[in-house]
Structure 1
Amino acid sequence: MQNSLEIGGTPTIHKDRSPPSWKVFLILFIVLVGFLFISTFALAIWFGMEQNKSNENDICLTRICVEAANNLLKSIDETIDPCENFYQFTCGAWLKNRKIPVEDTSETTFKVVKTQLTNNIIDVLSSSTSTSIDESHAIINARRLYASCIDEEAIEMENVNVLLSFINTQLGGWAMLQGSKWNSSTFNILNQLLKLFEYKHSVIFNVDTVVDDQNSSANVIRIGQSDLILGIRSIYERESPITIAYRQCIHDIVLALTNDTSMINDDINAIFELEQRIAKYHWTIAEQMAHVDESIRTTLGNLSHTLDVNFDFVSFLRHAYGLANVSLMDEDIVFINEIDFIRNVSSIINHYSPRTLQNYLVWRFVVNRIDQMPKRFQMIKQNFLKVFTGSKSQQSRTIECATFVNTNMDFAVAKLYIQKYFDENARNQSMEMIVNIRNTFIDIVQQSSWMDPISKSKAIEKVHAMIEEIGYPDYLGNDNLTRLETDYAEYNFNSSLMSNDLIILRLNMKKNVQMLREPVDPRKWAVAPTIIDATYTPEYNRITFAAGVLQMPAYHKDAPKYLNYGGIGTIIGHEVTHGFDDFGRKFDKDGNRIPWWTDETIKKFNERKQCIIDQYDQYTVTLAGTKLKMNGSQTQGENIADIGGLKEAFFAYQNWVRQMGTEENKLPGLQKYTPEQLFFINFGYMWCSKVTDELTLSYILQDVHSLSQFRVLGPTSNFDEFDRVFGCKPGQGNSRVNKCSVW
Structure 2
Amino acid sequence: MWSQQWWKQDITQSDQLCLTPFCIKADETIEPCDDFFQFACGSWLKSSKIPEDSGAQDTFNILKTELDNNIVSLLTSLGNDSEPEAIKNARNMYQSCVDEAAIENDGTDTLLTLINNELNGWPILLGDNWNNSTFNLLKILLKLREYNNNIIFSIATTTDDKNSSAYCIRIAQSDIALEQRTYYNDANVTEPYQEFMRDLALSLSNLSLTDTTKINADVKDIFQFESNLAKYHLTNAEQQRARQNETIRTTVGNLSRDFNTTFNFTAYLYNSYEFGNVTLKNDDVVSINDLPFLRNATELLQNYPSRTIANYIIWRFMINRASNMPKYYRAIKDKFERVFRGTSAEKSRSTQCGNYVNINMGFAVSKLYIKQYFDESARNQSLEMIGYIRDAFISILNETMWMDKDSKLKAVEKARAIDGKIGYPDWLGSNNITQLEEDYADYKFNLSYIKNVLQMLKTKSKENIHVLREPVDRKAWAGSAPTVVNAFYTPSKNQITFPAGILQFPFYNKDAPKYLNYGGIGTVIGHEISHGFDDNGRQYDKDGNKKQWWSEDTIKQFNDRKKCIVDQYSNYTISQINRTAYKKWSKLNDNSDKKLPGLKYSPEQMFFVNYAQVWCSKMTDSYATNRVLTGVHATGQFRVLGPTSNFIEFDRVFKCKRGQGNSRVQKCSVW
Taking the aligned partners of 2:99 and 2:15, their CA distance within structure 1 comes to: 54
Q: 2:651 matched to which residue of 1?
A: 723
Q: Contact 1:473/1:525 (CA < 8 Å) preserved in 2? A: no
Deviation of 1:690 after TM superposition, in Å, equals 0.8
Taking the aligned partners of 1:151 and 1:376, their CA distance within structure 2 comes to: 15
Is 1:154 the counterpart of 2:83? The answer is no
Counterparts of residues 47-196 of structure 1 (less than 5 Å): 58-62=16-20, 66=21, 68-69=22-23, 72-73=24-25, 76-130=26-80, 132=82, 134=83, 136-196=84-144
2:473 maps to a residue whose letter is: D
Q: 2:5 matched to which residue of 1?
A: none
In structure 1, the residue corresponding to 2:157 is in which secondary structure?
A: strand
Deviation string 1:317-337 (CA, Å, 9 cap, x unpaired) is: 111111111111222211111
Task: Pick closer, same or farther for the CA change 1:278–1:110 going to 2, 3 Å.
Answer: closer
Q: 1:348 matched to which residue of 2?
A: 300
Q: 1:198 matched to which residue of 2?
A: 146
Q: 2:235 matched to which residue of 1?
A: 284
1:205 maps to a residue whose letter is: F
Taking the aligned partners of 1:295 and 1:83, their CA distance within structure 2 comes to: 46
Greater shift after overlay, 196-205 or 445-454?
Answer: 445-454
Taking the aligned partners of 1:431 and 1:720, their CA distance within structure 2 comes to: 28
Taking the aligned partners of 1:130 and 1:148, their CA distance within structure 2 comes to: 18
In structure 1, the residue corresponding to 2:556 is in which secondary structure?
A: helix
TM-score (norm 1): 0.86
Taking the aligned partners of 1:232 and 1:656, their CA distance within structure 2 comes to: 43
Deviation of 1:57 after TM superposition, in Å, equals 5.5
Q: 1:708 matched to which residue of 2?
A: 636
Taking the aligned partners of 2:313 and 2:228, their CA distance within structure 1 comes to: 15
Q: 1:221 matched to which residue of 2?
A: 169
Q: Contact 1:466/1:542 (CA < 8 Å) preserved in 2? A: yes
Taking the aligned partners of 1:111 and 1:197, their CA distance within structure 2 comes to: 32
Deviation of 1:131 after TM superposition, in Å, equals 7.1
Deviation of 1:595 after TM superposition, in Å, equals 1.5
Q: Contact 1:179/1:262 (CA < 8 Å) preserved in 2? A: no
Taking the aligned partners of 1:56 and 1:200, their CA distance within structure 2 comes to: 58
Taking the aligned partners of 2:519 and 2:576, their CA distance within structure 1 comes to: 31
Q: 1:405 matched to which residue of 2?
A: 357
Q: 2:518 matched to which residue of 1?
A: 565
Is 1:591 the counterpart of 2:544? The answer is yes
In structure 2, the residue corresponding to 1:216 is in which secondary structure?
A: strand
Q: 2:438 matched to which residue of 1?
A: 486
Q: Contact 1:222/1:334 (CA < 8 Å) preserved in 2? A: yes
Give the counterpart of 1:257 among 195, 201, 204.
204
2:662 maps to a residue whose letter is: N
Taking the aligned partners of 2:605 and 2:431, their CA distance within structure 1 comes to: 44
Quote the sequence identity (%): 51
Q: 2:554 matched to which residue of 1?
A: 601
Q: 1:245 matched to which residue of 2?
A: 192
Q: 1:28 matched to which residue of 2?
A: none
1:279 maps to a residue whose letter is: A
Q: Contact 2:324/2:449 (CA < 8 Å) preserved in 1? A: yes
Taking the aligned partners of 1:431 and 1:286, their CA distance within structure 2 comes to: 32
1:483 maps to a residue whose letter is: Q
Q: 1:212 matched to which residue of 2?
A: 160
Deviation string 1:90-112 (CA, Å, 9 cap, x unpaired) is: 01111122221111111012333
Task: Pick closer, same or farther for the CA change 1:56–1:343 going to 2, 3 Å.
Answer: closer
Counterparts of residues 354-393 of structure 1 (less than 5 Å): 354-393=306-345
Q: Contact 1:110/1:553 (CA < 8 Å) preserved in 2? A: no
Give the counterpart of 1:694 among 588, 602, 622.
622
How many residue pairs align between the two structures? 653
Give the counterpart of 2:223 among 263, 268, 272.
272
2:410 maps to a residue whose letter is: K
Q: Contact 2:334/2:346 (CA < 8 Å) preserved in 1? A: yes
In structure 1, the residue corresponding to 2:148 is in which secondary structure?
A: coil
Q: Contact 1:663/1:675 (CA < 8 Å) preserved in 2? A: no
Greater shift after overlay, 456-465 or 557-566?
Answer: 456-465
Deviation of 1:171 after TM superposition, in Å, equals 1.3
1:269 maps to a residue whose letter is: K
Greater shift after overlay, 209-218 or 253-262?
Answer: 253-262
In structure 2, the residue corresponding to 1:263 is in which secondary structure?
A: helix
In structure 1, the residue corresponding to 2:574 is in which secondary structure?
A: strand
Q: Contact 2:14/2:592 (CA < 8 Å) preserved in 1? A: no
Q: 1:535 matched to which residue of 2?
A: 488
1:435 maps to a residue whose letter is: G
1:442 maps to a residue whose letter is: I
2:451 maps to a residue whose letter is: S
Task: Pick closer, same or farther for the CA change 1:268–1:475 going to 2, 3 Å.
Answer: same
In structure 2, the residue corresponding to 1:192 is in which secondary structure?
A: helix
In structure 2, the residue corresponding to 1:156 is in which secondary structure?
A: helix
In structure 2, the residue corresponding to 1:210 is in which secondary structure?
A: strand
Taking the aligned partners of 1:403 and 1:129, their CA distance within structure 2 comes to: 19
Q: 1:659 matched to which residue of 2?
A: 588
Q: Contact 2:14/2:593 (CA < 8 Å) preserved in 1? A: no
Greater shift after overlay, 731-740 or 286-295?
Answer: 286-295
Deviation of 1:56 after TM superposition, in Å, equals 10
Q: Contact 2:14/2:594 (CA < 8 Å) preserved in 1? A: no
2:51 maps to a residue whose letter is: P
Q: 2:575 matched to which residue of 1?
A: 622
In structure 2, the residue corresponding to 1:484 is in which secondary structure?
A: helix
Q: Contact 2:14/2:595 (CA < 8 Å) preserved in 1? A: no
2:221 maps to a residue whose letter is: A
Q: Contact 1:307/1:339 (CA < 8 Å) preserved in 2? A: no
Q: 1:394 matched to which residue of 2?
A: 346
Give the counterpart of 1:332 among 273, 284, 298.
284
Taking the aligned partners of 1:152 and 1:182, their CA distance within structure 2 comes to: 33
In structure 2, the residue corresponding to 1:620 is in which secondary structure?
A: coil
In structure 2, the residue corresponding to 1:124 is in which secondary structure?
A: helix
- Stretches of structure 2 lacking an aligned partner (at least 5 in a row): 1-12
Taking the aligned partners of 2:479 and 2:238, their CA distance within structure 1 comes to: 26
Counterparts of residues 429-508 of structure 1 (less than 5 Å): 429-508=381-460
Taking the aligned partners of 1:113 and 1:526, their CA distance within structure 2 comes to: 20
Taking the aligned partners of 1:291 and 1:340, their CA distance within structure 2 comes to: 9
Deviation string 1:440-477 (CA, Å, 9 cap, x unpaired) is: 11111111112222122111111111111111111011
Taking the aligned partners of 1:224 and 1:457, their CA distance within structure 2 comes to: 34
Taking the aligned partners of 2:478 and 2:260, their CA distance within structure 1 comes to: 37
Q: 1:421 matched to which residue of 2?
A: 373
Deviation of 1:702 after TM superposition, in Å, equals 2.1
1:248 maps to a residue whose letter is: E
